[in-house]
Structure 1
Amino acid sequence: MTDGIDSAMAQPSDEPFDLAVAGAGIFGLSVAHAAIKAGLRVAVLEKDRVGAGSSGGLLGALMPHMPARWNPKKEYQFQALLSLEDHIRQLEAETGLDCGYRRCGRILPLTTTDKLDHHLERAQESKLRWRPQETGFSYIVEPAGSRADWLAPAAAPHGIVYETLAARVSPRAYLAALGAFVRARGTLIEGVAVSGFDEATGSVEVSGETPPIRARSLVVSGGFSAFDLIERFTGERIGRGEKGQALLLEGADLEDKPAIYCDGLYVVPHGNGTVAVGSTSDRDFSDNSPSPARSAELLRRATAFCPKLTGRQVLTDWAGIRPRCNKRDPLVGKLPGLDATYAAAGGFKISFGIAHLVADCLVAEITGRAATHPLPATFRPEHHFGAGRLDADR
């Protein structure tokens, strides 16, 4: 960890950074990665360490929205999941680090005839929305008893959905690769929290005895605590934290199994011989520590529908406070009333799947170019602030 700026990271006295990023989670590091590749001089300022917040979890589920009631948000996420593998493979080539990515697919159990009928309709719509002949990704309803070596048949009495767009990544390995890229080509300072930004002087105010850092623009990221800084800049509170919890089990011989979503939980095998199980979502919480009772509940529920997990060693548990905008969708763009202060926050459950595309859009806005895939209107600041704001208690 770097406390403050050492000689290797020192900023030239007369030259500001093009961009400072507050927060070294998946959104912050992805923005920094995209900005550096766009030719900007970038500094990432992290109050703790890379992945110390909700981004440093265990699950790594990269799951698509259902191919029904299609809208710009679902199309955006679809495009993000289509392009993520190439993005990660390039990052791995740039850093020499493995991100643990694999297109694993996903099983969804069908527990009622209504759900069976509903997903048969979704399977038909997937042919239009997912374009399987072009993309190769399918959404198929299979009969009861399918894939019974992995999902308990009793959990899916009316069959299953098996879709092949879903993927997984190791959250911590992905963050480590992004962090390595930023350290090698930009500036990454851990142990320094951003507390303000004076756009007139370009002074980024930071905690402790570290001198201010100068930058032409600031991006506020950094998990649920980003909402505090955003409120300081705008006077509006547009999000909150929700606690999630997950487990990591020994998973030898399960590496090639698809992810399962059942009973509100994900089971996600990883390539390093582990299986992640999670995650819960608690709006009311007193701390960010794992609850032993919650861990026991996760294990009990997961083994009920996935018997191959029975008796496997629990390697670790995790809990974190995830950022959730009051209107659910992420906040991406210039903050209202400001000229050089932006945000990329509130990704909640879909951050890892869309972060690279969010970063492309935000850096495009900052540099004045067209984004590869424009942001959905519901991600934009005008959806979250002013007349569009939704208070947390509504």
Structure 2
Amino acid sequence: MTDVTVMGAGIFGLSVAWACARRGARVRVIDPGGPGAGASGGLVGALAPHVPENWNDKKAFQLKSLIMAEGFWQEVADAGGVQPGYARLGRIQPVMDESGLALARARQASAAALWQGKAAWRVEPAGGEWCPESPTGHVIRDTLSARLHPRHACEALVAALRARGTEVVREGPQEGRVLWATGVAGLEELSHAAGRAAGNGVKGQAALLALDAREAPQLFADGVHVVPHADGTTAIGSTSERDYDDPAATDAQLDDVIARACAAIPALAGAPVIERWAGLRPRARSRAPMLGAHPLRHGEFIANGGFKIGFGMAPKVAEVMAELMLDGVDRIPAGFRPEASL
């Protein structure tokens, strides 16, 4: 008899399944498309914090998740023998003008307090080949940001789960406690039942370059994330599109993202593009993850709406959902509950 059935093998579903399995639960994960078939099969993998100001439950939850990520992913790798490509190498951002420089310095002080000494946000002189062009001659470097390869992370979780005896299958019975982590399809189901948008799919496009900068920090410049991966590739992304004809097609918008990245970071110029990707990412109306009791399915649970922060939030989401489902302990922030988006 299965104790927990997880519907959906994206980052939220697999992470919650792992948190339950490591506590001794018998778990089955079901996804007709297979692991990482949706947004979690993307390319970028930027685990980056929100700015350290206007503190709220969402930012505090994210901080805890980013801090616990190293241990979470190391345990996953040790259990299954597959590396997720995780490394906490920080992030560099250019400072575009004098007002931005003053704001960045103020945030340096607030990060010292809000990040509890576990990471730093520093303003420093720009320099070096792996550095964005900066009009002020200064950049922001934070030591909290990390990276992983989304596909490798999903593969690592599947390997760890199977090492624990967990089924990861395309079909099967729903037994025990049931969690729905079905991304855009799940948000569409909720929206239809509520008669208004509980969330939606936002299209993103990204590219993978044949450029080995695996020991370098990620960069954020001109609205573009540049993430060096452990496998010797570098990801660039992404767009955020509400209107689109084909959710899986790449087009001139991705060309523009690549061009902006190369203009801001000369080290990227000339690197061959080896893959172009597009897909829909689930965004809850509240813009926070949707966690807790399922609004439509009595006695069942939901974890959805990861949007751009799903991989960064996953370790903490997994912890609180496993506590709720297995122990009845509810530590989910009020803004993360489904009713915040309904």
Shorter-chain TM-score: which interval? over 0.9
Residue in structure 2 matched with residue 142 of structure 1 by the alignment:
124
Residue in structure 1 matched with residue 224 of structure 2 by the alignment:
265
Alignment of 1:308 onto 2:287: no
CA distance in 2 between partners of 1:311 and 1:18 (Å): 52
- Report the alpha carbon displacement of residue 381 of structure 1 after superposing the two structures with TM: 2.1
| Consecutive unaligned residues in structure 1, runs of 5 or more | 1-14, 193-211, 386-394
Residue in structure 2 matched with residue 287 of structure 1 by the alignment:
246
Alignment of 1:171 onto 2:153: no
- Report the alpha carbon displacement of residue 384 of structure 1 after superposing the two structures with TM: 2.2
Alignment of 1:366 onto 2:325: yes
- Secondary structure of 1:40 counterpart: coil
Residue in structure 2 matched with residue 352 of structure 1 by the alignment:
311
- Judged with a 3 Å threshold, the aligned counterparts in structure 2 of structure 1 residues 237 and 182 are, in CA distance, closer, same or farther, namely farther
- Judged with a 3 Å threshold, the aligned counterparts in structure 2 of structure 1 residues 94 and 44 are, in CA distance, closer, same or farther, namely same
RMSD across aligned C-alpha pairs, in angstroms?
1.8
Q: What pairs up with 1:123-142 in 2 under 5 angstroms?
A: 123-132=108-117, 135=118, 137-142=119-124
- Report the alpha carbon displacement of residue 232 of structure 1 after superposing the two structures with TM: 6.7
| Consecutive unaligned residues in structure 2, runs of 5 or more | none
Residue in structure 1 matched with residue 176 of structure 2 by the alignment:
216
- Secondary structure of 1:213 counterpart: coil
> Which amino acid letter does the alignment assign opposite residue 166 of structure 1?
S
CA distance in 2 between partners of 1:128 and 1:265 (Å): 28
Q: What pairs up with 1:241-260 in 2 under 5 angstroms?
A: 241-252=201-212, 254-260=213-219
CA distance in 2 between partners of 1:295 and 1:234 (Å): 34
* TM-score normalised to structure 1 length: 0.82
- Judged with a 3 Å threshold, the aligned counterparts in structure 2 of structure 1 residues 339 and 289 are, in CA distance, closer, same or farther, namely closer
Deviations 1:179-208 (A, max 9, x none): 122233211112x4xxxxxxxxxxxxxxxx
Alignment of 1:380 onto 2:340: no
- Secondary structure of 1:276 counterpart: strand
Q: What pairs up with 1:1-394 in 2 under 5 angstroms?
A: 15=1, 17-132=2-117, 135=118, 137-143=119-125, 146-153=126-133, 155-184=134-163, 185-190=165-170, 192=171, 213-231=173-191, 237-252=197-212, 254-336=213-295, 338-370=297-329, 374-385=331-342
- Secondary structure of 2:275 counterpart: strand
Deviations 1:227-280 (A, max 9, x none): 13445777764110000010000112x222211111111011112111100011
CA contact 1:244–1:322 (8 Å) conserved in 2? yes
- Report the alpha carbon displacement of residue 27 of structure 1 after superposing the two structures with TM: 0.4
- Report the alpha carbon displacement of residue 340 of structure 1 after superposing the two structures with TM: 1.6
CA distance in 2 between partners of 1:215 and 1:159 (Å): 55
CA contact 1:59–1:277 (8 Å) conserved in 2? yes
- Report the alpha carbon displacement of residue 290 of structure 1 after superposing the two structures with TM: 3.3
- Judged with a 3 Å threshold, the aligned counterparts in structure 2 of structure 1 residues 232 and 367 are, in CA distance, closer, same or farther, namely farther
- Report the alpha carbon displacement of residue 149 of structure 1 after superposing the two structures with TM: 1.7
> Which amino acid letter does the alignment assign opposite residue 86 of structure 1?
G
Say which one has the larger Rg. Answer: 1
* TM-score normalised to structure 2 length: 0.94
CA contact 1:110–1:160 (8 Å) conserved in 2? yes
CA contact 1:46–1:189 (8 Å) conserved in 2? yes
Residue in structure 2 matched with residue 198 of structure 1 by the alignment:
none
CA distance in 2 between partners of 1:248 and 1:290 (Å): 15
Deviations 1:275-310 (A, max 9, x none): 100011001112222323123212211100111111
Poorly superposed stretches of 4+, deviation over 6 Å: 232-236
- Secondary structure of 2:155 counterpart: helix
Count of residue correspondences:
341
> Which amino acid letter does the alignment assign opposite residue 160 of structure 1?
V
- Judged with a 3 Å threshold, the aligned counterparts in structure 2 of structure 1 residues 261 and 74 are, in CA distance, closer, same or farther, namely same
